[in-house]
Structure 1
Amino acid sequence: MVFCEEVIGVQSIFSPDELGVMIEQGKQSVSLEPGGQFELSGAPLETLHQTCAEVNSHLYQVKAVAEEIGIGFLGIGFQPKWGLKDIPIMPKGRYNIMRNYMPKVGSLGLDMMFRTCTVQVNLDFSSEVDMIKKFRVGLSLQPIATALFANSPFTEGKPNGYLSMRSHIWTDTDNNRAGMLPFVFDDSFGFEQYVDYALDVPMYFVYRNKNYIDCTGMSFRDFMAGKLPSIPGELPTLNDWENHLTTIFPEVRLKRYLEMRGADGGPWRRLCALPAFWVGLLYDEVSLQNVLDMTNDWTAEERQMLRNEVPKTGLKTPFRDGLLKHVAEDVLKLAKDGLERRGYKESGFLKEVTEVVRAGVTPAEKLLDLYHGKWGCSVDPVYEELLY
């Protein structure tokens, strides 16, 4: 299991050249994202205790350095105060290419690049069949994860009408490379079908001789035939393919592992709950099968409805004869049971989301209550409330 965590920086004084773009330590890495966000990509680990220790160690180091130079890092899903014009742009070639391309394919792509922050969980699989089961569960339940961790209700100092603005942004970033991937639920789905999908996702760039070559909108299939207009006659390497896969952004992304992409960034105390949620569901065969049975008759229209509505209404989203809250209660029990059967005493990591489900109130709704009450319609206190 790999735990990946991104943090919005209140201020960044490092450029990619100074930082080396990525700092590697063992099998971990820290990278600097387009708007100065820090991303920890964790090492493959066996237990949630190890994952949580790794995250805590990273944040302790970040906090120690930040305090010395008078900056801070915020655990939230969307920059609550700054406009796009206020965000420093990290001088990396691929970001320049993406920044020029994004407005051509969606209205919110630049917000995604420069103002969003997520927490992701990467989980491995043992076979193609195991991948298919986990992929389907991940896509079906991603809206529940979005609701449980919804934490981005402010834009430029005011409520934005969403509980997860970050999640909403992905609905109009670039629909050729994002979304719920209905074909994953087809009987024919497997590795080959995902490769066919990825081949048809328009390219961003090719990296050659330490330079990013703009290939936006071009076809990887053409690249494989040596017919890429930007570099005619040249064939892709495996590294080109791996780079291309990193430019695909569905709700669950398949690489050599499955990446769960539905959750907002959040405060220190909530970071370990997300991997606990998914590990309990996907790494226990009983819970995995129970979720498959539970979601088996969900239609593509229902899954898409949840994807569209949850960023606005969270656990209060109507679903069939009740609310999404009632589904989340059953799912959370399965996650807890799965963790307990693993035998590592990990179920305590679910404490933060257990209270969210019990009350049916997302973290974003709590922030909005503070904004309209104790904070006096100011977002400034969020910089203390969610400071690492």
Structure 2
Amino acid sequence: MHFQPDPMLDSFRQEIRQFLRQHLPADLPRRQDGMRSPRADLVRWQRVLNDHGRGAPYWAQEHGGTGWSVAQRLAFDEECAAAGTPSLDAFAHKLVGPVINHFATDAQKAEHLPHIFNGTRLWCQGFSEPGSGSDLASLRTRADRDGDHYVVNGQKIWTSYAHQADWIFLLVRTDPQAKKQAGISFLLVDMKSPGITVRPIISIDGCHHLNETFFDNVRVPAANLVGVENEGWKLTKFLLNNEHATTADLPTLRRFMAQLHALAASSRAGGMALAERHEFLLRLARCEAELKAIAVMVQRVAAMEQDHSPAAHAMGSILKIRGTELQQRMSEFLVQTLGDHGAVAYPDPHAPAACGRAALPMEQAARGVATEMFFRRATTIYGGTSEVQRSIIARSLFRF
């Protein structure tokens, strides 16, 4: 493949930067990490985007979206991250939204899409289960048909933001006799339904974004089934195959690099500025080289996705491995660069200093860094472990 970057992408970036300068409200808190923004900020930013025709940046025009290319969507994400905009609900916009657009009934679209556009219905994802790990097809949560309803029983785990979500898109087994991918269905479930219990999981970074979610005889209208019963795996593959080019989380890598450069210019060790220590600069240069290689790879995978190349899946797996491993190395590098200040974890990076005084410059630079390093330990696990990604790559080598 002779990959060439889109020559119009730079002008598109300038257009997005100008839009952000003009329309990002000055009083909206600037996001400095990968966590989902508070609901009020998310809804407010969603409405700003709606007012300027950018409310569904990841969808085709026929579904009410911008119709941007994969490369343009990536550029939009990168510029928003650089500007610190509130997040969008990625579960709604990038995952369940495209499924609803492509597979849902007109009634389901009328029920859910306006809320996604307005940011008034937050979503979570009910896929992972205890004991299943990355073997998603081994799920055991049951949904038994009872008249006009399904009765759901089972447990999901690592359910990000379930404690804030209004609805969950849920994989359930509707044919217990079928093996693996067969017999799975895709349900949309109101989180206020009786029988749903959400139990928090406080992660090692001190944050609460993960949960266990239990379903005890939860009655779900059969009208909430998306697609055909027992054919939910087809929808799952569609959902998981979207946005391979985003798996490296390039905006986060670039944020880490900016933080490292800022620390290099302002910090000293052993009586020398970090920017003068050759061992630090060598490590920084290696990270920069890897980051540039990943940035090029992201554009290659985006071009493959745009062309519907069958190689995009394997390339996306390579990108997932390289990108997530670099996230871990760079977040560790940041903690080490901070020295003693890196040993302090701030679960809330915006909280005041414990003694009530204003934070010193290095204390301010350290806010959230150790917490994020702990969070990034999971990047090689969620979204398909590195071992699973390597299996995908190996199988693909025999196909091409």
TM-score norm. by structure 1 comes to: 0.26
TM-score by length of 2: 0.25
Looking at CA atoms only, which structure, 1 or 2, has the larger radius of gyration?
2
